[in-house]
Structure 1
Amino acid sequence: MNVLYIHTNEERDKEIFVAFAGTDSVISEYTAPRPEEANESYAPGLLKAMEESGADVVFATGYFPIVSIACEAMKKKYIAYCQRPYNPSLYSCTLVNEANVVFVPDYTVYENFNREGFTNVLFMPLGVAEEAIAADVTEEDSEGEEGIDLTITQNVATRDSLPFNLLAAASPLKDSTKGYLEGCIACRHQIRGLPSMYQYLPPYIKEDIGANIKMDLASDSVETAASYFDNRSFNDLVTVADRDIHFGTLFKNDHFRKIRIYGNYSGYVDKTSDEEDRKWDISSSPSLARGPEFASAVRKSKINLIIPHRNWISGISGRTFDTFAAGGFVMSPVMGDIAGLFETMKEALYVDEFNMASRSVYYKNHPTERVEIVNSILSELRANHTYLCRIEGMFANI
């Protein structure tokens, strides 16, 4: 099969491209349109590349409406392997094109599109490069009592850093509206799986938002206000609260004395005590890029706490997959796709901050069980979750 591979800026793009070398496909390359590039300037080059390559299929790690239009016109299949749970471009009216076979990495997102009649939107989780999957771990990897108790490799942004913060002082919303939204966020950070926040707002709150906040949509977008405000603002705000409170819960727990933070953390990280025998070892460093240093850090830690962004409804985030592949033990909130794809992880998933604290302490003090879970996940990754597995799964749907 001839494939025109359209490169994107997604961080896994090169790894997925390399995995294509393990297939029998003939691969040609092109690049995705730049955000500011007009369809009229991009389309001629794309059509020429499609014709010269003799491609049967166009593949990209994202969905681009102009690529769909071109594939529809040229009678080619377009496989879009989306890397994020929320993709504004999927609300383009081009999604109905028969050329499209679109894969989303979150099963609940897939169900939502399927419920609306989009049978060409399918589920395909993220994956890992085969060469990135570590060897099995042993209890010695976490260095016993001398090892790192807790590692966090995610940013905890402040609200001020969010690009679209409806609760900012400069927001034109009424104070009463902001107060109501604050209450909603305070409730929602405590549990996952709730329905749309916007959808269930009272009419007077929606009216204030509609009157003062303009939705910045593409000209061909049919995205609803619920999707727009949930995914671009409310979920950001809930994630900030979620991470701050959950990370803080483990910081305050006496069982976690050696803590490593890799990322921007705005919270208070010092631990002090009147008792001289209590010694804390906490350090905060810049974010770690995916690679050997990241893999070493998470593999050595007894607990790796991962709080996925709230745009992930049931899916497995890239950070979770990377930590799995490195041989790190992950403590995560209940995510349906983790439970469905990795049976041994079910007992390590938590439902609230109290459940998180108790389970984290339990697994910190039970290295044999940690090792069994991690090695089971590594085995499952090798068998079913490499990029080659993903490519084979996607092409099986054509």
Structure 2
Amino acid sequence: MKTVLFLVWKSFGNEFIIEELEKRGFEIDFFDFPKDTENTRNSIDLTEAIARRVLQTRPDFVFSFNYYPVAAIACKACRTKYVSWVYDSPYILLYSQTILYDTNRVFLFDSHEVEKLRGLGAEHVYYMPMGSAVEYYDTLEPTPEMHQMYDSDVTFIGSMYSEQRQYLYHHLKNVDEYTKGYLDGIMQVQKSLYGIDVLEEALTPDIIGRMQKVCPVQANGDGMETVAWSFANYFLARKVTQMERRELLEALSERFRVKLFTPEKTPFLPKVDNMGRIDYYERAPYAMKCAKINLNISLRSIHTGIPLRALDIMGCGGFLITNYQSDFNEYFVPDEDYVFYDGKEDLLNLVAYYLEHEDERKKIAENGYRKVKELLSYGGQVDKILGMI
């Protein structure tokens, strides 16, 4: 019997990948993984607990969504493969020196991040887009009551990055005026650019030093990330995303019926219908199916990757308008399978056009659905991963 030691935490996709592994004859041993209460970078106790379980059960491999150095250390000690599929971005644990272990098989949805880590010597890091649970979505049909609740011109599901736990930029509020102006300038430039990243390279040693005076970020002792990488991806990219999402949703709401699903309060978007938090498995697919247009505005630390939300939308048969992300080009054709925008005015024009041209909109949504089902289903992605480990 083939076995997998599955590190379980409240991840997106647990149900889907468990089902696919079981279909392929794997017996799954579940290990409750305390990622929110333990140090997953270097906890000796947690490392030893994983190692003991590996030695007891002798699995074919250990699996987790996202990458955890404690698991990599345990698997290296036991000479067992550690397979991880990462969907979060940014994800600083990827820059732990444990990423270099030859027992790792790490799959990332962003090809830019793969290239960067390989450049640091991580030979067992691979590009693998996330999968879409098309078979599950096909079983869901919105009721009339759901249509009444979820129908919209434009739907956006995601964070506005206004909560303090998400909004790290506030730690830089006391920087000097020169630095504040410099950061504002590079963030405005980044907000206007798609497919090009300028934040990290724009952080000069002088600017980083000024930022560290009010927010003393340092590289981890066992990490390969730079301070510039941390500031760019965790602080500035989130701020740019916050600015962009607020600006675009506000502009759209002036002309169209916009529904926003987010746990945050949004008094700064008075014309947007804030529907609150939505359950990923039970309700979000219905909202995507009911929307005329589903909008994806990528977190700016996702440099090239196809966000999971975009695949969910297409897998539900929804019509997708997204910002430009180059990894789409490997699987999809713009204006045939999905549509991308290049700035606020372009987005407003595209939304107006596709609301008026229903047949075109539905044809593109159908094409995108078929492509995802053929090329990026959960089962298909699991088969690719199993073939590479």
TM-score normalized with structure 2 length: 0.88
Give the match for residue 123 of structure 1: 127
* Residues paired across the two proteins, number: 379
Alignment partner, residue 235 of structure 2: 233
Tell me what 2:328 maps to.
338
| 2:131–2:311 Cα contact (<8 Å) kept | yes
CA contact (8 A) 1:127 1:387 kept: yes
Q: Which residue of 1 aligns with 2:313?
A: 323
| Counterpart residue number, 1:10 | 11
Output one character per residue of 1:342-372: Cα deviation in whole Å (capped at 9) or x when no partner. Answer: 2255661111112111111111111111111
Alpha-carbon distance change, 108 to 97 in structure 1, aligned in 2, over 3 angstroms = same
Question: Structure 2 CA distance, aligned partners of 1:110 and 1:364?
Answer: 37
Return the match for 2:154 from 116, 126, 150: 150
Using the alignment, how far apart are the partners of 1:24 and 1:359 within structure 2?
46
Distance change >3 Å, CA 41–CA 321, structure 1 → 2 = same
- Find the counterpart in structure 1 of residue 343 from structure 2: 352
Rounded to whole Å, the distance in 1 between the matches of 2:207 and 2:282 is: 48
Displacement of 1:218: 4.2
Between 157-166 and 45-54, the greater mean CA deviation after superposition = 157-166
Q: C-alpha offsets along residues 241-260 of structure 1, whole Å, 9 cap, x if unaligned?
A: 1111111221223xx2x332
Q: CA RMSD in A?
A: 2.8
Q: Which residue does the alignment assign to 1:201?
A: 203
**Structure 2 counterpart SS, 1:302:** strand
Any residues of structure 2 matched to 1:47-66 within 5 Å, and which? 47-66=51-70
Alignment partner of 1:165: what SS?
A: helix
Q: Distance in 2 between matches of 1:236 and 1:317?
A: 15
Q: CA deviation at 1:92?
A: 0.8
Instruction: Report matched runs for 1:1-398 at 5 Å.
Output: 1-34=2-35, 35-37=37-39, 39-134=43-138, 148-158=152-162, 162-166=166-170, 169=173, 171=174, 173-215=175-217, 217-253=219-255, 256=256, 258-263=257-262, 264=264, 266=266, 268-270=268-270, 283-343=273-333, 345=335, 348-398=339-389
SS in structure 2 opposite 1:119?
coil
Deviation at 1:161, TM superposition (A): 6.2
Change in Cα spacing, 1:159 to 1:13, as seen in structure 2 (3 Å) is closer
Is residue 155–residue 295 contact of structure 2 (8 Å, CA) maintained in 1? yes
Q: Secondary structure at the match of 2:169?
A: coil
SS in 1 for 2:330: helix
Larger radius of gyration: 1
Query: 1:275 maps to which residue?
Result: none
1:159–1:240 Cα contact (<8 Å) kept: no
Aligned letter for 1:112?
K
The alpha carbon displacement at 1:25 in A equals 2.4
* Cα drift, residue 265 of structure 1: 5.7
In 1, the alpha carbon distance for the partners of 2:335 and 2:90 equals 25
Question: What SS does the aligned partner of 2:168 have?
Answer: coil
Superposed CA deviations along residues 59-103 of structure 1, whole A, max 9, x for unmatched, are 111211121112112111111111213221111111111101111
TM-score by structure 1 length? 0.86
- Matched residues in 2 for 1:60 and 1:294: separation? 24
2:72–2:82 Cα contact (<8 Å) kept: yes
Whether the 8 Å CA contact 2:140–2:286 is kept in 1: the answer is: no
Return the letter of the residue paired with 2:318: G
Unaligned runs of 5+ in 1: 272-281
Alignment CA distance shift 1:69-1:269 (3 Å): closer
Higher mean alpha-carbon deviation, 40-49 vs 235-244, is at 40-49
Matched residues, percent identical? 22
Instruction: Flag the 1:47–1:116 CA change in 2: closer, same or farther, 3 A.
Output: closer
